[in-house]
Amino acid sequence: MQQELTDIAIIDAVLAGDQQAYALLVKRYQRYVFTLALRFTKSREDAEEVAQDCFVKAFKYLSGYERKGKFTTWLYRIVYTTAMTYLRKKQVDVLSIDDENHQNVLDSHQASTDLNTERKSRDYYLNLAIESLLPDDASIITLFYKGEQSLEEIAQIMGIEANTAKVKLHRARGRLKIKLEQLLKSEAEDLI
């Protein structure tokens, strides 16, 4: 609640003419917006472009935020629609990475990443598994676990029914679990 009030105070300042106050909102949510954009673009450069575009759009239409729900729900809705438009424009291959590709990605990451601690390793494989999911699956998991959005809010963001969001989340987690198991299995086989 405190967080929400603070967001609104910043929004009021921006609408009153303090353009610099918007930097506070950008800094606060840049990681969330960037992560969500990355779930669609699969490329850091493109995700930065999409995320920047989202913040500019949010600024432009800030007075359109009706304050009925969380500011983040409104912001993520912009991210979702912008990222979907990006996918349609770029016609990015949104099919999940097959096992062979997983292995290639795995090899390239292994060369550059330090995986000494168990925690780091687990996070690494989980992120890799999320990256390999379809954008819808990856974004619903990110919104639920990282974006602090309820199923009703996710439904609003994605323009679907709350029950559909619940089913989608359940299926996305199931697919993620399978992907993670496949990744860990191929890693174990490599070690043998």
User: Can you give the binding site for another protein, defined by CB under 8 A?
Assistant: 12, 14-17, 19-20, 22-23, 26-27, 30-32, 34-35, 38, 44, 47-48, 51-52, 55-57, 59-64, 78, 81, 122-123, 126-127, 130, 141, 145-146, 151, 166, 170, 173-174, 177
Specify the residue, 45 or 93, whose C-beta has the smaller distance to another protein: 45
As a whole number of angstroms, the distance between CA 181 and CA 189 comes to 12
Closest CA to 140 of 59, 78, 80, 70: 80
CB of 100 to another protein, least distance (A): 25
Instruction: Residue 135: count other Cβ atoms within 10 Å of its Cβ.
Output: 20
CB of 167 to another protein, least distance (A): 9
CB of 107 to another protein, least distance (A): 21
Specify the residue, 27 or 192, whose C-beta has the smaller distance to another protein: 27
Specify the residue, 105 or 126, whose C-beta has the smaller distance to another protein: 126
CB of 126 to another protein, least distance (A): 6
- Tokens encoding 38: 């990355």
Q: What angle do CA 94, 37, 187 make, to 5 degrees?
A: 60
As a whole number of angstroms, the distance between CA 109 and CA 14 comes to 42
Torsion of CA 82, 86, 92, 97, to 10 degrees: -20
Specify the residue, 20 or 112, whose C-beta has the smaller distance to another protein: 20
